[in-house]
Amino acid sequence: MTEIRLYNTKTRRKERFQPLDPQNVRMYVCGPTVYDRAHLGNARPVIVFDVLYRLLRHVYGPDHVTYVRNFTDVDDKINATALARKEAGAKGTLEELIAERTEETIRWYHADMDALGTMRPNKEPRATQWIGAMVAMIEDLIAKGHAYAAEGHVLFSVDSYRDYGKLSGRSVDDMIAGARVEVAPYKRNPMDFVLWKPSSDELPGWDSPWGRGRPGWHIECSAMAYELLGETFDIHGGGIDLAFPHHENEIAQSCCAHPEGGFARFWLHNEMLQVEGRKMSKSLGNFFTVRDLLDRGVPGEVIRFVMLSTHYRKPMDWTEKKREEAERTLRSIAQLLGTSPLQRPWYGKGRFPAPDEFLKALADDLNTSLALTLIRKYLKEGDEPKLRSSLELIGFEPQELIERFQSFRLQSSRNEFTSGTSLESWGAFSKAQQERIAEIAARLKLARADAMQTKDFTQVDAMKSALVAAGVEVRMTKDGVDLVPGPDFDPAKLEGV
């Protein structure tokens, strides 16, 4: 069996991974707070832990790995977003608008992450489905002397847990000095954090021994992880920004509630994302969501390839140069796979075993940077069996790469676009205009493929309308997209497509 070695934040060293039970390898990853679209930084842990999930399934078997990633669907940010919609004139009660927003955001999240080639976890619990478990855990912490009620709130007593700060390597004094802590007269220690807080009549709330209220953020993950994975499980993951205070607080309350267990044995954290060497922020004008990129015609496979080009424990810099390089590589891969004699129905998924050197790269603390270097080597050598099996292992479907990236390429020797758009009807136009049509046809095909999955054809309809307004006839079949210039075609109007 392949030996997996992972860097454990808790011990600050790379360790051999040995699951508690090889028949039931268990992993929990902190999921999104569902109040808006996932930005590019949110996508990094999803892709990182998707690769780890695939590796664990490969080594231990698909039926022997349980992956849990939660949805935080009760939160002050969600409430604020719904309140803004209500003040803008949206119909319905605030609670109804909150429910509507969370459902909408979860649909967006699934569609966007699906487009990046990530597998959905085995279980995706919503915080609101586990309120009873949270209340029970809070009651237990109070009974054991680790939490206290004050003015409608329940707070965890940091002083009651001697190992507080070990994950992040900080002392309590350092944390107080460097953290933004809520100053409240009912706190015994400034670092004590909220387990339960009161809710007004219009906000979501649940009955509890401490009055109508809602849970704090940290208790949500502890309760759901315990209920779905037990008091001790194998791996807990998330972005490095969650190490303190979220993961530190999870450990404290979970270990105090279940002192006989150890909570998570391995802690994995991915580093943060930058854009062109700068922190992504709206004020700098370099903030964008995954959907922004997809709508601009950047395929999900390109986003995934760029993300995996940097080791997960190093800061990742998204640049236009990396995007272009990734797209060129994927086009070359699609060209090789699409013209190979192995492109036959009987050469299905999993036909070839993953190369040992490739598997060892992934097993060495998810060295995806080395893994992509090996993929480029197999591409250069024309070694399709190794290329196919390696791509599959890290979440790239060969057939989908062929269909998507050959459609981006102008096949002038055959006088046609592989997306289905014939060049013969565009012969009277300039090369630049032909390439512009090729790009639009490829994006329309991509948007249509996504729409078939999400059942949301808004983007497809908008593109079709814009093309028709420009005098282009749009013909779509199961085999591709055909764009034909009409008698009133106006190239200038393509700028808006």
Binding site for Zn(2+): what residues are annotated?
30, 221, 246, 250
Query: What is the C-alpha to C-alpha distance for residues 136 and 238, in angstroms, rounded to an integer?
Result: 25
Q: What angle do CA 240, 241, 247 make, to 5 degrees?
A: 80
Query: What is the C-alpha to C-alpha distance for residues 482 and 479, in angstroms, rounded to an integer?
Result: 9
Please give, one letter per residue, the 3-state secondary structure of 359-383: HHHHHECCCHHHHHHHHHHHHHHCC
Query: What is the C-alpha to C-alpha distance for residues 354 and 375, in angstroms, rounded to an integer?
Result: 11
Tokens coding 233:
């499980």
DSSP letter at 169 equals T
Distances (CA, A) of 109 to 433, 452, 479: 35, 16, 28
Report whether 483 contacts 441 (CB < 8 A): yes
Select from 253, 247, 32 the least CA-distant residue to 133.
253
Select from 22, 36, 42 the least CA-distant residue to 73.
36
Tokens coding 484:
């034909």
Q: Cite the annotated binding site for ATP by residue number.
A: 282
- The amino acid at 213: G
How crowded is residue 439: how many other Cβ atoms within 10 Å of its Cβ?
17
Q: Cite the annotated binding site by residue number.
A: 30, 221, 246, 250, 282
Please report the DSSP string for 397-415 in residue order.
-HHHHHHHHSTTSEEGGGT
Could you give the 3-state DSSP secondary structure of residue 326? helix
Select from 273, 315, 299, 243 the least CA-distant residue to 447.
299
Q: Cis omega (within 30 of 0) on the bond before 32?
A: no
> How far is CA 401 from its chain centroid?
20
In the block, which residue shows the tokens 């903030």? 287
Tokens coding 52:
């780890």
What is the number of residues in the chain? 497
Query: What is the C-alpha to C-alpha distance for residues 47 and 44, in angstroms, rounded to an integer?
Result: 5
